[in-house]
Structure 1
């Protein structure tokens, strides 16, 4: 099987952390014997890259290249991928594009034009507000070999972090929808009560360094207003790191009743209260044993099953 993957999120030397979950899915599918050609349209670098991406897709469809299908990640990449009709289209919608900003109508229109739609959580499917004949819920899988529990003191020493302070870590880009101000306000509230806690922002880090931050921290904080299936929650679970998060995407289903993990309302007071509970928990969780079914290998098997269904 040969697949053309079209995406506007993919790691590059300039941004090695950008779209690592798409890269990991590609590598896992290659491991299953699928030939994957990646077309990366870096629209964040320049919007004209979308025009170049569309020309590249059209050029391949009019040329001698042979693919069994095209798989697009995110709605704008789907537009590029659907500008050809030679091959079937599988479209993965990750989350915010179906519910936030100007892209929800475009997401619904493109979902009707796709041969199969993959969504990353049941909530993303609900937010599409569509009855699709061919749809699968497949969260992006995590690298269980990379994200592992580790010795906290060693991780802090490697990162140059103080050994005596409690650390709440935020991992990701502090975009507005991430609502990092809630974490900042909650940590400041705990500090004013005399708790020796700091907020650590881990942004723009190479993917292979992210586990160090999770091993070094006492709690992961995620206070987003919207997510599809946030990777950091699954990664923190794989590192046995306690979690405080708002009830977005599939977070509640992933953490379930894991001791040391808490859902918070999107207020400074609630986040501070849950952070205090997570810090008082004082240890590691059993999260890793609870999310083995969310590995990258398992997700790739499900995506491959969709490919076979499309080709049938």
Structure 2
């Protein structure tokens, strides 16, 4: 089995977290024996990369060294279809939509974004991409519904690396990070400067707590150190306005640390009834109340068990996609 991944999300030296789930996913596929090639459109130097990447993608397709194509964004589907037309490539296309902005009301956009970025907030281009694919997967059940997509699709959230994110001794992790044992620590893993992540709400909620609390923010925590920070925390918090299938929720569950989150994307479904995981409204009052509950949680947390029940390890997710690739190839051969 040979798979060509087409994506605009993939880690770089300057953005080590960007699309980390794509990199980890393709690595898990390789462990299953899939030959993986990645066509990454790096837009950090300009949106024109979406156009300039197409000739290289066409050359890659012309070599016929892939059986199936897996696109990870609306723009990636556009690129794929154009390059296929130019190279006369006939490989079936699997499209996974990770685009949480699909859940925003029509017309909502980031006023600081450039014109091409603003297109991604429109729903019609996303509908076209969904209908252009041979097989559709969404990372949560809400995105296709928000786009009015009525054809069959699968729901598969990205998997989490259960070998990297493992429960560790809190005291050891705090000693490594220089955090006093007696401090109450809340970890906000996201970049506090991202307005969609809601750090302003988190700060206001912390002011309402009955105990003195230290908040640690992400943005410059390395991938390797994030499990240490999570294990050192008393609670992980997320206050996003919109998400698709946030990795930080699954990562906190993987290390069995309590978490409070808004019900953004699929968080509510992922949390389920697992002890130690709480959904809050996106306001300081309710977030503070849920943080108090989480900080007072004395029983076991069962986040890791919940992830395994849901089949959300990297290996389990890769196996699901391998079955999909085989199915689309079977359908393609039958036509």
Bin of the TM-score, shorter chain as denominator length: over 0.9
User: Shift of residue 146 of structure 1?
Assistant: 0.8
1:130 aligns to 2:149 (yes or no) = yes
Q: Map of 1:236-275 to 2, 5 A cutoff?
A: 236-275=252-291
Match of 1:90 in 2: 94
The DSSP-based 3-state class of the residue aligned with 1:117 is strand
User: Shift of residue 32 of structure 1?
Assistant: 1.0
Match of 1:117 in 2: 136
Q: What's the TM-score, normalizing by structure 2? A: 0.87
The DSSP-based 3-state class of the residue aligned with 1:200 is strand
C-alpha contact (below 8 Å) 1:20/1:207 kept by paired residues: no
1:295 aligns to 2:313 (yes or no) = yes
Q: 1:303 to 1:173 in 2, by over 3 A?
A: farther
| CA distance in 1 between partners of 2:258 and 2:31 (Å) | 32
Q: In structure 2, list runs of 5 or more residues that go unmatched.
A: 110-120, 331-335
Q: 1:46 to 1:276 in 2, by over 3 A?
A: same
C-alpha contact (below 8 Å) 1:90/1:115 kept by paired residues: yes
Q: What's the TM-score, normalizing by structure 1? A: 0.93
User: Shift of residue 162 of structure 1?
Assistant: 2.9
Q: CA RMSD in A?
A: 1.6
Q: In structure 1, list runs of 5 or more residues that go unmatched.
A: none
1:169 aligns to 2:173 (yes or no) = no
User: Shift of residue 50 of structure 1?
Assistant: 1.7
C-alpha contact (below 8 Å) 2:72/2:95 kept by paired residues: yes
Aligned length: 307
Match of 1:139 in 2: 157
Q: 1:283 to 1:153 in 2, by over 3 A?
A: farther
| CA distance in 1 between partners of 2:54 and 2:326 (Å) | 26
The DSSP-based 3-state class of the residue aligned with 1:109 is helix
User: Shift of residue 178 of structure 1?
Assistant: 1.2
Match of 2:202 in 1: 183
Match of 1:22 in 2: 22
User: Shift of residue 107 of structure 1?
Assistant: 1.0
C-alpha contact (below 8 Å) 2:101/2:242 kept by paired residues: no
| CA distance in 2 between partners of 1:271 and 1:99 (Å) | 22
| CA distance in 2 between partners of 1:95 and 1:160 (Å) | 37
Match of 2:117 in 1: none
